[in-house]
């Protein structure tokens, strides 16, 4: 397939070569460019740039968990985690249990090497990247479903879905749902296109919320034989943070389950009011 540069060069050197019609230019260039600009601009300004009293309120828990791991401590140990959390965030960290499995370490560990403002900004930027991965993954799934390049109407629907408020709101609050949605979509794209590395990345990140991604984590290895190797690679990589967590906390399973039970008992974690999860689902 000729590149855009090669096509333009050929058109210049060969005036008789058929030129693209206005509809082709609109469908192949203008509609995708406009969609990317609208989605990226909307998510970036509403999620990353916008300020407010609740800005990055949840990323603080990821920051302190990453700091615990960096220092060789378990974030599931209340005697270690909560003093560190309350020492820096005081009363603004109520109900701040870290109830994510150790596999989330692979996403948030870089936050531990910065101060809290930079770490929060880093998480926002990573979340924005995840939102754009989600946008691209939905585009690929839609294109494979239609078996043809997208026209203006599919691009409009895709843009509308990708700019819904829950995506930017999740990034604004510093929550993780965009990561999980993007990971699930990426794993589906990898399975659909037989791109194992996409499946591996998607499966690894999706384990951060197994209560949402469990069907995907189960069905891809069971019903996609071509992706079983990718599932094995993902499992092998996942064992690294699990092994590290077990080394610093020999009772990791019990510690984690205690934190999950405590987290579920909080009114703020009622699924009925978790805007990010509900909207993204």
What local confidence, expressed as pLDDT, does residue 7 receive? 47
C-alpha span between 15 and 121 (Å, rounded): 51
Question: What's the rounded Cα separation, in Å, for the pair 206 and 245?
Answer: 18
pLDDT tens by residue, the chain, 281 residues? 445 455 445 444 554 445 666 666 666 778 889 999 999 999 999 999 999 888 998 899 999 999 999 999 999 998 999 888 888 886 555 567 888 999 999 999 999 999 999 999 999 999 999 999 999 999 999 999 888 888 888 999 999 999 988 899 999 999 999 999 999 999 999 999 999 999 999 999 999 998 888 888 899 999 999 999 999 999 999 999 999 999 999 999 999 998 888 777 665 556 555 545 555 55
CA distance 58 to 77: 19
* CA dist., res. 166 & res. 177, Å (int): 9
- CA dist., res. 17 & res. 50, Å (int): 49
Residue 243's SS3 state is helix
Torsion angle defined by CA atoms of residues 59, 61, 62 and 67, in that order, rounded to the nearest 10 degrees: 130
The ranges assigned to domains in the chain are: 24-280
Sign for the pseudo-dihedral over CA of 105, 107, 110, 116: negative
The position carrying tokens 């203008």 is 30
Tokens read off for 140: 């690929």
At 35-45, the pLDDT tens digits run 999 999 999 99
The distance from CA 136 to its chain's CA centroid, rounded to whole angstroms, is 12
**DSSP, residue by residue, 48-108:** II---TTTTTTHHHHHHHHHHHHTT--TT-HHHHHHHHHHHHGGGGTT----S-GGGHHHH
Residue 21: what pLDDT? 64
CB 213 within 8 A of CB 184: yes
| Three state DSSP letters for 98-158 | CCCCHHHHHHHHHHHHCCHHHHHHHHHHHHHHHHHHHHHHHHHHHHHHHCCCCCHHHHHHH
Percent of the chain that is helix, strand, coil (3-state, to 5): 80, 0, 20
CB contact at 8 A, 246 and 252: yes
pLDDT one-digit tens code per residue, 163-209: 988 899 999 999 999 999 999 999 999 999 999 999 999 999 999 99
């Amino acid at each position: 397939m000729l590149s855009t540069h090669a096509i333009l060069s050929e058109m210049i050197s060969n005036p008789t070569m058929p030129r693209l019609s206005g509809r082709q230019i609109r469908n192949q260039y203008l509609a995708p460019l406009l969609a990317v600009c609208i989605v990226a601009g909307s998510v970036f300004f509403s999620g990353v740039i916008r300020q407010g009293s609740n800005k990055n309120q949840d990323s603080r828990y990821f920051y302190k968990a990453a700091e615990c791991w960096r220092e060789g401590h378990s974030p599931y140990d209340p005697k270690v985690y909560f003093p560190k959390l309350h020492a820096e965030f005081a009363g603004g960290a109520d109900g701040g249990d870290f109830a994510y499995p150790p596999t989330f370490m692979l996403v948030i560990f870089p936050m531990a090497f910065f101060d809290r403002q930079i770490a929060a900004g880093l998480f926002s930027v990573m979340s924005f990247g995840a939102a754009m991965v989600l946008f691209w993954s939905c585009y690929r799934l839609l294109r494979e479903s239609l078996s043809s390049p997208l026209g203006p109407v599919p691009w409009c629907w895709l843009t509308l879905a990708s700019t819904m408020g829950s995506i930017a709101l999740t990034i604004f609050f510093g929550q993780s749902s965009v990561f999980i949605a993007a990971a699930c979509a990426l794993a589906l794209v990898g399975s659909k296109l037989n791109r194992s590395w996409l499946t591996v990345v998607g499966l690894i990140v999706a384990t951060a919320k197994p209560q949402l991604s469990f069907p995907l984590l189960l069905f891809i290895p069971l019903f996609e034989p071509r992706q079983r190797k990718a599932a094995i690679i993902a499992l092998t990589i996942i064992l690294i943070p699990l092994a590290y967590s077990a080394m610093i906390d020999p009772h990791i399973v019990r510690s984690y389950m205690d934190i999950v039970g405590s987290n579920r008992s909080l009114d703020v974690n009622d699924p009925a009011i978790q805007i990010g999860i509900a909207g993204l689902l």
